[in-house]
Structure 1
Amino acid sequence: MNNTSSTTVNFDFTGKFLPPVFISVFIIGLVANGWGLKSLMQNWKKLKIVNVFVLNLGFADILYLLTLPFLVVYYVLKSKWIFGDVFCKITRLCFNLNLYGSIGFLTCISVYRYLAIVHPVRVMGRLTLTHSVVISVMVWLLVSVQSLPDTFYPKTFENNSEKCYDTTNNMYIEDYLKYNLGWTFTGFCVPFIIILGCYGHMIVVLTTMTRIDNVQKRRSLKLLLILILLFSVCYIPYHIFKNLNLWSRVLSKQSIQHQWCNGVYIAQQISRGLVCLNSALNPLIYLHGKEEIPARPRRLLRRARHMFRGLSLSDSNSVAPTITEEEF
């Protein structure tokens, strides 16, 4: 994905690693997000504040997942882009909208959960569905403002229109590094700090206040575990190694070669594969919230338990008293 003059960089790794990852994410993500969005749409009248953010999170995932088949073709053809320069930029834009849109809506969900736990009366009573819609529009606008400058950077290398870089060619690499550092701060670091603040305070409240029931505690902890998984696997490695790889390309352009350049490049490609997993992991959010529409598997499991208990009670009236509960 990156153009550098270093002969030690193993560019073949990208073509071998990313296509299987993209295919797996496309299948799992499309099925999981399609199921989740279908559940939300079927219960539209029950839509609550947090589910508006979940709905937008699902749309962001679908937007990116639909571009993955084109990227698979690109890497299978050994980094030969056959779909035109405009669609190359659209594809990269969809990835960025998904990435930073996901982070934005996860931040909204976290803030909402924080307010529901820490300020249930003073704040939550004033929030309406309209507020969540307005906030969602603001998130999309902010993410678009952050991502659109990326489309103005060339995605091809000189006269080679068969390439479709996720960053830009070496001619503009210094400026792109500065832009990406600012982008990382506003699009990733600031939301991450907000989420850490919300959950840091929430954990204190959950462990010290007795008025919060165990159901709310479990839901909050589940969401926290999902966010830890997403950030530690998907978001943090991607932003670290993307900026390191851009920096190594700046050094390479200045004829400063380092042995770690190849390792950074491979790590960045692995992080690109991991970051796209967020489109397959985000549907876990569908299961966490109190306002969440109950998942069909859980409903079926609940019914099965009730049926089993009913059968157990009816059988206990007709069997010998020596049969214990452990024998069922």
Structure 2
Amino acid sequence: IKLNTRVTANINAVTPLVNAIMPPVLIIELLLGLPGNLMALWVFCHHLQSWTPNIVYLLNLVLADFLLLVSLPFRIDHMLRGENWIFGDAWCRINHFMLSVNRSASIGFMTAVAVDRYFKVVHPHHKVNFISLRQAGAIACIIWIVVISLRLPLLTNVLLSEKNSVCNNTIHCNNVSICRSFNSYKDPPKGIKLHYIVYMAEYFLPLMVLIFCSIRVTCILHHCQMDKKKLKRAVRSVLVIVVIFNICFLPGIATGISGLYLQKLGNKYCDAYRLNNQLFGLSMGFTYLNSTLDPFIYCFSNSLFRNEIKKSINWFGLVELRLSCSDNAENR
């Protein structure tokens, strides 16, 4: 059942609740995420001689976060203006492309870090554990190529439409240009359909991988007699990734799927769909939170970053710095 033009325009109208709550939330996330990722970038580049495949994946996670941090000020401005996008359709598409690439790349490199931990603990003698930096860089490049290729439709999508419906990613409603990638399309173009499919698949497929890795690593911890301290760190590393993954991406996927379902039910569910749209808008606050929480992954997954944090804290005289040889062995 398709929504008629009048209802579609009404559903696509601005959402005052989202515009009131999201700007301060996004500003806080921007202010917290920027210094954490700048420090991570400095740490990893400062220890070039100690690079491992694990650091290669984490560094690419940092680079993905910068795509989000560059894009957030424009989203904040958009909401402060009552969802009036003033930067034009081309930058609207680029902005959504950067946000989507950040989400996809973050998920990809989170999964890569978790799989790296899994092989080091569950299959310590597997050849995957002995790949070179060049091979790790090739894996990172493949992840970027796949992510960018799947998100290109957000740049190339062109849909001519009549007043109060969608033109590219921008809706013109009551003289307000709303820049969204999820809208009530009467007939979504193929690029947008692909965007929806990727949005869902990139959550559920990595989730299964992360759950498998966490279960296997936890089982090894309980049944193996090897270095328990190192195993516990590996378990914490994977579990932190699973927790951050779900905190950031589960709300968006849940409200996104329910919105697509309500849209199929027809006009009588318009109010429920409109409410779901607001919840989906609020869920983006959790999605953008990943750049703020990713430094926890760096800290739990790599001793270089953890030791730099200890040094920084020790510089203020708050704790005693303790560096162990086991931390250095953890990065191998």
> After alignment, is 60-69 or 175-184 more displaced?
175-184
Q: By how many angstroms is 1:7 displaced? A: 6.9
CA distance 1:10–1:150, change in 2 (3 Å): closer
Q: 2:105, 2:130 → 1: CA distance?
A: 25
What is the DSSP-based 3-state SS (H/G/I as helix, E as strand, rest coil) of the residue aligned with 2:150? Answer: helix
- Match in the other structure for 2:194: 179
Aligned pairs for 1:190-205 within 5 A: 190-205=205-220
CA distance 1:272–1:157, change in 2 (3 Å): same
Q: 2:321, 2:273 → 1: CA distance?
A: 61
Alignment-mate amino acid for residue 242 of structure 2: I
- Match in the other structure for 2:27: 23
Q: By how many angstroms is 1:142 displaced? A: 1.0
CA distance 1:92–1:177, change in 2 (3 Å): closer
Structure scoring higher RCO (CA < 8 A, sep ≥ 6) equals: 1
The alignment's C-alpha RMSD in Å is: 2.8
* TM-score, normalised relative to structure 2: 0.82
Choose the corresponding residue for 1:73, options 64, 70, 77.
77
Matched, 1:280 2:284: no
Q: By how many angstroms is 1:55 displaced? A: 0.3
Identity %: 23
Q: By how many angstroms is 1:248 displaced? A: 2.8
Aligned length: 303
String of CA shifts for 1:163-206, please: whole Å, max 9, x gaps: 21132452434867743452134322111111111221111111
What is the DSSP-based 3-state SS (H/G/I as helix, E as strand, rest coil) of the residue aligned with 1:167? Answer: coil
Choose the corresponding residue for 1:255, options 267, 274, 277.
267
Aligned pairs for 1:95-174 within 5 A: 95-151=99-155, 152=157, 154-157=168-171, 162-168=177-183, 170-173=185-188
What is the DSSP-based 3-state SS (H/G/I as helix, E as strand, rest coil) of the residue aligned with 1:257? Answer: helix
Query: Does the Cα contact within 8 Å between 2:40 and 2:305 map onto a contact in 1?
Result: no
Query: Does the Cα contact within 8 Å between 2:60 and 2:140 map onto a contact in 1?
Result: yes
Alignment-mate amino acid for residue 36 of structure 1: A
String of CA shifts for 1:5-43, please: whole Å, max 9, x gaps: 557988211211211111111111111100111111111
String of CA shifts for 1:279-307, please: whole Å, max 9, x gaps: 10011111123564443231366796669
Unmatched runs of 5 consecutive residues or more in structure 2: 1-6, 159-167, 323-332
Q: By how many angstroms is 1:124 displaced? A: 4.5
* TM-score, normalised relative to structure 1: 0.83
Query: Does the Cα contact within 8 Å between 1:19 and 1:75 map onto a contact in 2?
Result: yes
